[in-house]
Chains A and B, each alone.
Chain A
Amino acid sequence: MIFTIAWRNVWRHRVRSLVIMTSVALGVWAGLTLNSLYIGMGNERLKIAIENEVSHIQLHHPDYAREFTQAPVMNNIQTALNQIETVEGVKAVCARTMAMGMLATATGSAGVQITGIQPPNESRVTQLQTKIKEGTFFTASKPNSLLIGAKLAKKFKIKPRSKVILTFQDASNELISAAFWVEGIYQTYNTALDEVMVYVNQPDLNKLLNLTDQAHEIAVLLQSDDFTASGKNKIATLFPDVKVQTWKEISPDTELIIATMTQASMVFVIIILLAISFGIINTMLMAILERTREIGVLMSLGMNKLKLFTMILTETLLLVLVGCPVGVFIAWLLITYLSENGLDMSVFAGESMGDFGFSNIIYPDLLPAQYVQIIMLVLITALISSVFPAVRALSLKPVEAIRA
């Protein structure tokens, strides 16, 4: 009967209760949707980072560092690539030769990172080929072809077939200059990288650097991130003299961004919950004030404090329990729809997302555990905010309450 009283009390002020229920529903909906957006953004960021920049696993000489003008190389690359391809979960591998250098054109010069790639292998590991905006992707049979980022191309008014001069050091610290012909202009999501990365054919670069079956970097794409840890272990046992790193080690900032976004979305959820709890406390305090006399009668008759407390608590929880599933359901519908169709963020953010290495279309996603987590938080909020009004009710004195 305590439940009956609580339930009927909820409906005494139909409009007021509906307002609270609606705000709970809205709050839950907003919290879930926001979280899914952040997670979608994180997933997208991760996918972009893996497919365009870091891959899942990379191999380098133990003393390798990207900043070196003359970084140490790994040997017997062709055999290594073949061996890595047989590791479980590996989708594709490619090798790269790097050099730090200068790019000079008729209109100016800039520091660049020159990467020698194996075009067919590279295309299976990264999305570079799909990012070609103008020109072609190493299909010309001419030697010394080069791909350049759109931003840099624009800066120097470079077009396909333009000639540029690359200057860098070889293994014996000799300064080397060579003419390259721009074959294509690419544009990725990461405009910062686009400005410094130029791509050439690995054999061309190796020849200039006096390298043979050698490379600075091997990148491994896996079937999914689930294989990252096991893949790293297996590859590391195959090549004990080489440094094997996962994307988390190579690009800690990517992991940090994703962790930060999860935290940021939690901050929003907590703000929403605080707002909900103020609404609940306010409504219930009002309800108790209105029912002072009634509560006085219940106390006089011999309803003990525990039962009174339970009654108020139940009433508060009911307010939340009606609103919460509605919010969850609407959020679930929306998230499910958007996770398939995507949400074009350029509507809200213009093209600026791309400047931060994000894609413009994100696919919101929320795991069941994350739904549960937020629902639990809402319930805990409801419990905490109902304690306050319940304690208020208990503090009433029957004689005074009855006179009210």
Chain B
Amino acid sequence: MSIVIETQNLSKVYNPDTIPVYAVNQVNLKIQRGEFTALVGPSGSGKTTLLNLIGGLDKPSSGKVIINGTDITQLRPNKLIDFRLHNIGFVFQSFNLIPVLTARENVEFIMLLQNVPAAERNKRVETLLQHVGLGDKMNARPAQLSGGQQQRVAVARALASKPQFILADEPTANLDSAAAANLLDIMAALNREENMTFIFSTHDQRVIDRALRVITLVDGKVESDIRR
């Protein structure tokens, strides 16, 4: 098994000069390829901050984030954008999609940014949207989709870029329990069948129960790390 994500003494301090807040405090983690990991902890424990650091959206105060052997904290801004495009899939809590693009275009867009040829794009868009159960909603705009459907499109989009792993910050927070369960089914199936690595933060016990590894953060520190 190969390590996809490794953090070394990773810290993020807000307001270091006034009242320092250690949002992420000396975190050392190794995530293997194919893991299905939940990041849990009370509100303000640093889940979002940690995911942003791993996703290269935020700069750490100290420590390293190594993805597939590359220390992304050392990348120049333009390289980092490109690295995200080719290596990291994102699913945000809500309003993930570009409102003026259809489901199909939202998924296709990321492949366009990657310069994937048209024929391959079209094939992948259809496969992916069918995979997340939206084969009949391809030409719908986000506003015409339910919250759960939008999140599924976001998952399809994350997959379209063929990333090393997918980061999801509270992907089910705005969904009812049926839609949440459905999204988790799709994510779990992708994890099982395609060995896709997922890290998602959540407060929802039913979602936590589906995870194969649960990392608990308290005050920016890893309190427990359980594999099941």
Q: Report how far A293 CA is from B93 CA in the complex, Å.
A: 12
A252 at the interface (CB under 8 A from B): no
- Does B92 contact A304, Cβ atoms closer than 8 Å? no
- Does B81 contact A294, Cβ atoms closer than 8 Å? no
Given contacts A307-B113, A399-B52, A399-B58, whether A299 and B99 have CB atoms under 8 Å apart is no
B84 at the interface (CB under 8 A from A): yes
Q: Report how far A348 CA is from B94 CA in the complex, Å.
A: 60
- Does A402 contact B57, Cβ atoms closer than 8 Å? yes
A301 at the interface (CB under 8 A from B): yes
B105 at the interface (CB under 8 A from A): yes
B1 at the interface (CB under 8 A from A): no
Kindly identify which residue among A297, A302, A305, A399 contacts B98, using a CB–CB cutoff of 8 Å: A297
**In the complex, how many angstroms separate the beta carbon of B144 from the nearest chain A beta carbon?**
14
Q: Report how far A177 CA is from B8 CA in the complex, Å.
A: 115
Binds B, one of A1-9, A185-193, A239-247, A365-373: A1-9
- Does B86 contact A302, Cβ atoms closer than 8 Å? yes
A398 at the interface (CB under 8 A from B): yes
Given contacts A5-B98, A297-B96, A398-B57, whether A302 and B81 have CB atoms under 8 Å apart is yes
Given contacts A1-B108, A399-B52, A402-B92, whether A301 and B100 have CB atoms under 8 Å apart is no
**In the complex, how many angstroms separate the beta carbon of A381 from the nearest chain B beta carbon?**
26
A contact residues, range: 20 to 34
Given contacts A4-B101, A9-B100, A293-B95, whether A301 and B84 have CB atoms under 8 Å apart is yes
Q: Which of B78, B86, B95 counts the most A-chain CB atoms under 10 A from its CB?
A: B95
Tally B residues with Cβ within 8 Å of A.
28
Write the B111-129 contact mask toward A (1 if CB under 8 angstroms, else 0): 0110000000000000000
Given contacts A5-B101, A298-B98, 11 further A-B contacts (CB under 8 A): A1-B108, A4-B105, A9-B100, A293-B95, A297-B97, A300-B84, A302-B86, A302-B110, A302-B113, A302-B161, A303-B81
For the complex of A and B, 7 pairs with smallest distance between CB atoms: A302-B85, A8-B100, A302-B84, A399-B58, A398-B57, A399-B57, A304-B81
Contact sample, A vs B, 29 pairs, CB 8 Å cutoff: A1-B101, A1-B105, A1-B109, A1-B112, A4-B100, A5-B100, A8-B101, A9-B100, A294-B95, A294-B99, A297-B95, A297-B97, A297-B98, A299-B81, A300-B57, A301-B84, A301-B85, A301-B90, A301-B110, A301-B157, A301-B161, A302-B84, A302-B86, A302-B110, A303-B85, A304-B82, A307-B113, A399-B57, A399-B58
